[in-house]
Structure 1
Amino acid sequence: MPSNETYVSQILQVISAEPDKVLLSWRDKTLTAAELTTLVRSAAQALHQHAGGTDGGAVVAVLTVTNTGPTLVLRYAANLVGATVVHLHTTNAVDPADHLAADAKLKILRQTGATYLAVDEENVAAARELRERLGTPLTLVALGDLGPDVLDLTAGDPDALDPDAVGIGPDRPAVVTYTSGTTGEPKGIAFDFRARNGFISAGLQMGWRSVYLACLPLSHSSGATADDSLASGGSVVLRDGFDPGDVLRCVERYGITRMLLSPPQLYLLMDHPEVGSTDLSRLQMVTYVGSPASPERLGEAVKVFGEVLIQVYATSEAGFVSMLSPAEHLDPRLRATVGRPIPGWVRITDPDDHRDLPPGETGEVRVRSPFTMSAYVAEPELTARTVQDGWVRTGDLGLVDDDGYLHLRGRIGEVIKTNGIKIHPVTVENAFLAHPDVIQAAAFCVRDRDRIEHLHAAVVLREANTAGPGELAEHIRATLSPKHVPARIHVRRALPLTGVGKPDKARLAVEASG
């Protein structure tokens, strides 16, 4: 696309063909294409005018109920005039109701140099408190009249803005998303306009219209999927979070064709008692992201949903890495992989000396693509350690087989040295999940007082079955080896999850140590 165009311009151009079509639905509200366009252009013009016409100088933090129309409208409006958008509500990529504490929000505002704070009615009181505590100028803005101290962006003139006249540097940050990562300390990951603009090309080339059900927070990968769906000429149904029964009812009611889930959510959906009586015939794309999935459970999912499953391996920093297509899900051998990366995008390197490894050898996955992050916000040293010569170090261990498929083996820091061998937790987890009674599993390290590492595992069983630790230990012994049998197997009703939907192994280790 031309240098002065953004992904927002492209979306607005696509949706202009059907002005009366309902594009966004949330709670009891909807927006048609015409209404969405007017709101975006009005807000963009008001923001641009208030900033004095400065091209791309503003930083707009968004503090709204995450999965609502205003969250998308405000991002589109800010990006249309080259402003950087910072999502302030949550670091959780799975649960939109998981809110950041006030101190964390304040730190992000300071770290990003936010000049505007976009709010809705539910969050305006909290925004005023943040403005008082910040100590630097911060203009509150909203899509409506929320008081004399809040700039109403709907007062802008949608016809007065000429987006083509706004110069937007492709290297300027478009969106900053904060993630808790594995350390728990929020990190701001910036993606520039070049990456964001490039991503939308997928939607423009899809050739079919999707009806996307968004249960995951729009502040993270679900937001990019919403963009992609609108760019395909489709529509988006927004939900406040994931509930398997609600999801199934939405699939029927709205004719959902596309969903984005974490693997644990996929399992809950396929195990729900209503799944057999739900019309799933219009589903065309059920994408799961966030953590490796069980090959055995994926085989069950294929039977439930048909040839619609797509596995996307992506990280917050590296963006899209590889994909396993619906047809490839029919092959049991390929369900143990995360698909094929695009040629030239992935290297497997030795974690210690960083040399490239041949096919079949396990090392660190490094990624270089048009969709990788540009930087960590205000953390140049961390950026330099993570992005080297344009290659993003993922911290994930994996190997590429002779057919070009990528296999993940866990995180570098998760490798457990016990019983005289190195154990990759994913190997043990997949073995547990091959047992018919196990629906979730996490393998993790517990260190004793002498700092000796011990393999533990936590599992969740099907409600109707009662496999005990002894039976499960024998299963691991027979499937892998006696040295892979955990020192202790914890049977739980549920696994705690991190903000990206993965089992919270740090918490499991602490609880097991106590």
Structure 2
Amino acid sequence: MTAMTPEDAVRHVVATDPVFAIDNVDIRGVTVKAFRNIPPTVPGLMAAGWARHGDGKLEYIAYEGESYSYADYTRSVNRMAHAMRDTLGLGQGDRIAIAMRNYPELLKLVLAVSSIGGVVVFVNAWWTTEELEYALRDSAAKVVFADGPRMDRLKPLEQPLDLTLIGVRDGEGQTAHDYATLLEGAASDQAPDVSINTDDDFAVMYSSGTTGHPKGVVQTHRGAVNAVFSWLMQSVIAPLIDPPAADAPEPPRPSALVVTPLFHVTATHPLFLLSLPAGAKITLMHKWDAEEAVRLIRDNKITRFLGVPTQSAELMEAAKQMGEPLSSMDYLGAGGAKRPAAQVAQLAEAFPNAGIATGWGMTETNALGIGMIGDDYKARPESAGKLHPPVQELRMLDDHGNDVPNGTIGEITVKGPHIMRCYLNKPEATAETVVDGWLRTGDLGVLDDEGYVTILDRKKNIIIRGGENIACLDVEGALHRHPDVLEAAAFSVPDERLGEIVGAAVQLRDGTSLTQQDMAAFLDGHLAKFKIPVHLWVQHDVLTRGTTDKIDRRAIRTACLDNQEAQV
């Protein structure tokens, strides 16, 4: 077989494979390209994957010694969907929250909620009671499935918010409803008969922004499934671009290790949702541990690893120390944060069978965006890659919405069926971000003549700590609660392991002092632990201001990192 260029391979597949045929469609008054023949809804992905999972016989989920076939999974999804309708009285349009660590039940609940036409509200498992209250009030979710630690934080909200709390695993036995009891008492294990429109809401997933409180990103069924099939298409075009030898064995069944939280798109969309039509097995980790990840990859013949760059680096070191080549891996990707350029060649040397990959996407794009793998990435380790075809469009815009020439800094702006419907309850923020169907991402970059994008900076004041987005204003708001803090500025501090961690400069009242330890103790309960500043600079003078008399966060950060010693 003669190798094709990536562009020719895309055109060939779109023209010859009915699964990936595309049409122009109208979404909320905007014309975009979308796949014509894919499942219209997220529950449709489950049925589409039945044959690829051995007609249900193959193992689908592995977790801590537990094993579930695809048929087991499908049966549990359907039974829980009936229990939600019959016992809990839930139905189409109801927002149903999930608050737990990465348990198999989470994967089942996502499809059960969407199977009845409900809307999944993904809750950050690290949030405090205060942060949970904001999201539940904002989403109007009245039913929450929660494990033990989350149940403890939710109990104070049960009466004030009139919540129905449903215990999962170590959360059972604390409320009127338990997951296991609901599942056992379900009336049917057949899929419920529900009519869901492709443009109905699928999920609300919270993403930190510059407004302090996280924004609820509303994703539709069409958006999620178009993202999934865009990734699925990569496996179809890959052998056209790099044809295998005539006597090459059949590739192994895809098998993914989930190491990042399932309340983020990095895990839910390109791993979990993609696994359904791709016929992939899912292995869940109880908690990230590099040595345990090596053992799981070895013993489960994992082919696909996608985590934040820190996890890739720690996996590499653990594999070296344990003498494990992890030869089953054919994909080692990074999401959530940019991987250090020097790490690309190191990973390629450590895992020669794996295509080292990078990706850029957003909660607002259902995680679909830009990426590259293998030699392309090794040759351009500073780049984010190319736009994933074939339904996305890309522009680089200046502050006035005008296109900038290639090689010029512009804001990455994308369009397609995968774009969020809106920010929940935030019409002004939605209108600022989505203009005529184009999503202004807030990320600045440069597009070259070959179509590669290099991301340079963020317009948004966001700290990315090991893949977790932290809004500076969120941290500053919590710091201002302290009675001795007059002003605060939060910013990123470089960290070799996590990429960035939180630092803060504060102006204190005259005659007062504040240590980092005291500050951290004060913020405990107001902020999730990963948001609490690790470095603190204190002063009694006013913080540096810009020409508009606003705090100049960039100048403060530079001064703190260059000229002062922080309390750590």
User: TM over 0.5, yes or no?
Assistant: yes
Report whether the alignment pairs 1:117 with 2:144: yes
Pairing of 1:55-74 with structure 2 (within 5 A): 56-64=92-100, 66-74=101-109
Q: Percent identity?
A: 24
The CA deviation at 1:323 is 1.1
Letter in 2 for 1:296: A
Cα distance in 2 for partners of 1:57, 1:460 equals: 44
Computed over aligned residues only, the root mean square deviation of the Cα atoms, in angstroms, reads 3.5
Show structure 1 runs of 5+ residues with no match: 91-98, 416-424, 426-443, 445-454, 462-497
Cα distance in 2 for partners of 1:279, 1:502 equals: 35
Aligned to 2:483: none
Match of 1:302 among 348, 365, 373: 348
Aligned to 1:347: 395
Match of 2:186 among 143, 151, 156: 156
Cα 1:180–1:241 change in 2 (3 A) is: farther
Cα distance in 2 for partners of 1:6, 1:365 equals: 28
Match of 2:267 among 222, 227, 245: 222
Report whether the alignment pairs 1:365 with 2:412: yes
TM-score if structure 2 supplies the norm length?
A: 0.67
The CA deviation at 1:336 is 2.2
More off after superposition, 190-199 vs 42-51? 42-51
TM-score if structure 1 supplies the norm length?
A: 0.74
Aligned to 1:481: none
Pairing of 1:106-505 with structure 2 (within 5 A): 106-120=133-147, 123-134=150-161, 136=162, 138-141=163-166, 146=173, 149-150=176-177, 152-154=181-183, 155-159=185-189, 161-162=191-192, 165-181=193-209, 185-202=213-230, 206=235, 209-220=253-264, 221-224=266-269, 225-272=271-318, 274=320, 277-306=323-352, 307-318=354-365, 319-331=367-379, 334-342=380-388, 345-351=393-399, 353-412=400-459, 458=494, 460=496
The CA deviation at 1:291 is 2.1
Cα distance in 2 for partners of 1:356, 1:507 equals: 41
Cα distance in 1 for partners of 2:333, 2:117 equals: 30
More off after superposition, 386-395 vs 285-294? 285-294
Cα 1:3–1:146 change in 2 (3 A) is: farther
8 Å CA contact 1:398, 1:410 repeated in 2: yes
8 Å CA contact 1:4, 1:166 repeated in 2: no
Cα distance in 2 for partners of 1:304, 1:21 equals: 31
Match of 1:28 among 61, 65, 74: 65
Cα distance in 1 for partners of 2:360, 2:175 equals: 46
Cα 1:252–1:139 change in 2 (3 A) is: same
Cα 1:52–1:378 change in 2 (3 A) is: same
Aligned to 1:77: 112
Cα distance in 2 for partners of 1:179, 1:368 equals: 19
